[in-house]
Amino acid sequence: MKLRLVLLSALMIGAWYFASPWYTMWRIVDAAEAGDSAALEERIDFERLRQGMREDLVTSRDDGDSDFLDRIGDGVVRTVGAAAINTIVTPRGLAVMLDASPAMPGQDLSWDVERTGFSTFEGVSTYEDGTPGPVMMFERSGLAWQLVAVRL
């Protein structure tokens, strides 16, 4: 009896480990296609997502130049970029990005799950023509997964 319980527990843990990322991806993509903001808010850490995108923006502007005009340009890009990130990284904005990217109009995305650790995975997308699409990075939060970053 104890052996059966141990085997059943191991089977359930293994099934969760392998199936839960796919289930999470399906729920997010489905919610995006349906425009279900509430479902997206449950599965996405929007503040962490915005903060990561702002940090990526600052890093992309750091080219080592420190002249006056370059600093002004960096300041403008950071200010405008941060405002754009705050406006776009919302349940509705993410739904639009995941459902239909303006970069590849008319092409659907296909998704794959790539494990990056026990508590992390990436949802990697590809357009119909084979062009790489957005990559969503997830971290485990209890027994659920939460979207914490997106690479475009």
Q: CA 75 to CA 55: how far, in whole Å?
A: 13
Asked if the structure places residue 8 within a domain, the reply is no
Q: CA 141 to CA 95: how far, in whole Å?
A: 22
Q: Which two tokens stand for residue 92?
A: 């509705």
Asked if the structure places residue 101 within a domain, the reply is yes
CATH number for the domain harbouring residue 70: 3.10.450
Residues 6 or more apart in contact with residue 8 via CB below 8 angstroms: none
Q: For residue range 94-126, what is the model confidence (pLDDT) as tens digits?
A: 777 766 555 556 677 888 999 999 899 999 988
CB-based burial label for 125 (10 Å; 0-12, 13-18, 19+) = buried
Q: For residue range 48-69, what is the model confidence (pLDDT) as tens digits?
A: 999 888 888 877 766 666 777 7
Alpha carbon 26 to chain centroid, angstroms: 13
What's the structural domain count of the chain?
1
Asked if the structure places residue 68 within a domain, the reply is yes
pTM score of the predicted model: 0.76
Q: CA 111 to CA 124: how far, in whole Å?
A: 6
pLDDT at 145: 93
Asked if the structure places residue 66 within a domain, the reply is yes
Domain residue limits at 86: 20-151
Asked if the structure places residue 34 within a domain, the reply is yes
Q: For residue range 5-45, what is the model confidence (pLDDT) as tens digits?
A: 889 988 998 888 889 999 998 888 888 878 888 888 888 88
Asked if the structure places residue 4 within a domain, the reply is no
Share of the chain above pLDDT 70, in %: 89
Asked if the structure places residue 6 within a domain, the reply is no
Asked if the structure places residue 70 within a domain, the reply is yes
